Structure 1
Amino acid sequence: MAANMYRVGDYVYFENSSSNPLLIRRIEELNKTANGNVEAKVVCFYRRRDISSTLIALADKHARELEEEMENSEMADLPEKQKHQLRHRELFLSRQLESLPATHIRGKCCVTLLNETEALKSYLDREDAFFYSLVYDPQQKTLLADKGEIRIGNKYQADITDLLNEGEEDSRDLMKLEEKVWDPNSSLTEKQIDQFLVVARSVGTFARALDCSSSVRQPSLHMSAAAASRDITLFHAMDMLHANSYDMTRAIAALVPQGGPVLCRDEMEEWSASE
């Protein structure tokens, strides 16, 4: 029974034609249509056969460079048959979404980002195991790496100053290096601060009720209240307390200026539930 249960996040096979290999997709959403059928919104993964020969050459070049960086000759030591099999285990992630009938699902598989510490042969040892390291854009016909890079140099890393000798004073102006954003020794008690944070969350919930885009993303009061309780709201509330010298009356007024309640929103609210 468990083998036939599919959830959001599962990697699955889809059949679209008896003459073609099974499609590999990741389930993003499962929705029931008006006629009672279940439809899956999925992320597309592409096989080597689905991309142009130019991009395949680019993918092979990326694989060779990765092998050199890893100083790993494992791929070169593999027999030709296993090399061929391994190429068929490579997929290309895309940002493309499509909707397919759930009745076309033909089982689960496993797809992982290529792990540089894992033996390549391990993908052949596991049934239904695939890997990817590049992202394919079907519209632009491009391949890009699916991870960032570490940049080195003065533009990207801070210069570490020499350790002070014993008895030597720090000649830097510390006031220019840091800014006080919170005073734990203020006149407010912990209970008063907690009460103010509850007020800030309430204002955040009301602000989402007034905002049209928020009401679409969080259609229920429960979801709006949860979004208003995120750290971004609490950080703003504590900033307002500090900026108003821990005067509760002035800080509450700052939460609700003349234009209406302040809406604090972070990046997480821009993501869908499946993301």
Structure 2
Amino acid sequence: MSKGYLLAAAQYPVGELADWDAFEDKLSSWCREAAARQAKLLVFPEYASMELASLLGPALRADLHGQIAAMQDLLPRWRALHARLARELGAYILAGSFPVREDGGYRNRAWLFGPEGSADFQDKQMMTRFEREQWGIGAGKGLKLFDTALGRIGICTCYDIEFPLIARTLVEAGAELLLAPSCTDTLAGYHRVRIGAQARALENQCYVVQAPLVGEAPWSPAVDVNIGAAGIYTPVDRGHPDDGVLASGRLDEPGWVYARIDTASLDAVRRSGQVFNHRDWPLQPPADTLVSRISMP
């Protein structure tokens, strides 16, 4: 019987970097710490890459749009570093998402790097008001299912996990684990993502992992305040925690949150659980069902 594998979700602190070597040392140290614990999947937060903007001059640091344009020159080196660490450590790494220029605009892109040298990305689908109205970052096109040696993985970046149909589409395609890297600047924002993550785990009877950016970066107009705690969430049924929380971190405290997950357990709960949320999804009234309005004066 499968015993699963150890997963690590980062409460990653945004920092002000002296130079590229400082970033490389920081990321390498974080990854090696998790790998030393035998973690096979390392999940970094949404927009963790934005600390690279601290390497730019003062004028670009303060320029909300200019900084992501300038960061494009760092992208090849950033990707190469993550790819090397995944190979060296024999682990999958979901890198902190990076705003990537494409088709005349920008996408919030999360890359998954594999230990055998593979890499691909998922673009965020649902944009927050800040991304859409102030930052000019647009929605990506399409969803991807990552078929890995650890199982089938989907990525729902931050706001995406608050929308049931995105997660459901991935689960119906075969996803057993949903990764929800996040970046929220209020306690309410953190809880919105957490509540969404737990709801998706409940209704799809799957695992969901939240990994937040934490700390303050007063020099950055994009990630100046970051609040959250990492969590690994499960179905709320037999064989899993009664509250659906397999592991959770302390709010805003940098560090890894670890949990051992076993996707084989999902088959059991979907087959013989107390309830069948996953199976019963199609029994819901369709969206176009006529709603009768009842007057009760």
Give me the TM-score of the superposition, normalised by structure 1: 0.21
- Between 1 and 2, higher relative CO (CA 8 Å, sep ≥ 6) is seen in 2
